[in-house]
Every structure is written in structure tokens, then in C-alpha cells.
Amino acid sequence: MFLVEDRLLVDDEPTTLQLVRRLLQADGHEIFEAIDGEQAIEQFERLHPDLVLLDLHLPKLDGFEVCRRIKADPATRATPVIMMTAAYTSVQDAAKGLDIGADEYVVKPFFKDILLHNVDRLLSARAMKARVLAVQAAPAVPPLTLAHERITIIDCMDDPLLPRAYPSLPGGS
């Protein structure tokens, strides 16, 4: 389970919006919705969601164009996009969606466990990538600093409360 963050759900079919919203909310996700491509871009720019579930066939701007715009911007490129489409679409559509940067392609009707697994998998991958980038961006501690800290610790050990000599053990020299 993840901390509650924003997910953007984009579909022009009210039934699909309702079904996916309920499914994700029951799993602890906060959902925002858009019903066309232009609204999806507006919501995306306003919310900066951590994941987008995107229908392929939308009014105004199709899912390909929405995905292309999200993935074209270096600031938003890492946002996972799951493209959703009806089973009757072609294999070429799936290939095109993945080629323009979609992270996953789900065919409707979908199995709820598969959708939830894909959402959790992509969010986990995003979180892991963020941790790796944070470690890489952290300044390295120079070895001299570590040596200086060791010397400081040893100097602090010269404490009057510590014994000056260790008692001899019986049978020892």
C-alpha cells in the first residue's frame, strides 16, 4: 500500500470512469478524472499526479498525444502512464503507445487484480528510481572527513572517567 497520492484517470466512458475510480479508491488511491485529452493535459499540469491511467480513444486529443506530451517534458517524463483501450484495437496501437512512452498497456475489459498489480508495480518502480536518484545526488563524504571524525572520537575517549590502565586478569602476566 502506498501513501495517498494523486492518480489521474482519463476516459470518456462514464462507466469505465466509475469502475476504475471505485477499484482504485478501494485500494487506497486518490483519484482525479478527465473526460477528454485537453482536460487531461490541464489536470496533469495542475495536479502533477504520480500516475496516469489513460484511455486511448478520447475526444479533442487522443491518448497517444496526451502520453506523448507527458513523456516529452523532462520534468514529467518519469510519471508512469498506463494506456487503456478496448479489446478490438490493433496490436499496432499497443506498439505505438509503448513506443511513445506508455509504461503499460491494458486491454478493456481488464481483470481488476492485473490493473492493481500494474499500478502498484509502476509506483514501486517510480519510488525506487527516486531513491536511487536521491542517493546519487547526495554529496559524497570525503575520506579525510571520515578520518577527522575518527580522530575526534579517539580524542573524546581521553576522559577522566575512563580507567588509565586495565586491571590484569588472574593467571595473566
Q: 20-51 pLDDT, tens per residue?
A: 999 999 988 999 999 999 999 999 999 999 99
Residue 124 CA to residue 145 CA, distance in Å, equals: 35
Q: Using alpha carbons, select from 111, 82, 94, 6 the residue that is nearest to residue 49.
A: 6
pLDDT of residue 149: 57
Residue 95 burial (CB < 10 Å; 0-12/13-18/19+)?
A: exposed
| pLDDT tens column, 49-90 | 999 999 998 999 999 999 999 999 999 999 999 999 876 566
Residue 1 has pLDDT above 50, yes or no: no
Q: What is the predicted pLDDT for the residue at 32? A: 95
pLDDT tier at 93 (50, 70, 90 boundaries)?
confident
Banded pLDDT at 13 (limits 50, 70, 90): very high
Q: What is the pLDDT of residue 25?
A: 92
| Whole-number pLDDT of residue 111 | 87
| CB-based burial label for 137 (10 Å; 0-12, 13-18, 19+) | exposed
pLDDT tens-digit series, residues 106-141: 888 888 888 999 999 998 888 888 787 777 777 765
Instruction: Look up the CATH superfamily of 6-137.
Output: Response regulator (3.40.50.2300)
Helix H segments across the chain? 14-26, 37-47, 63-72, 91-99, 112-137, 143-156
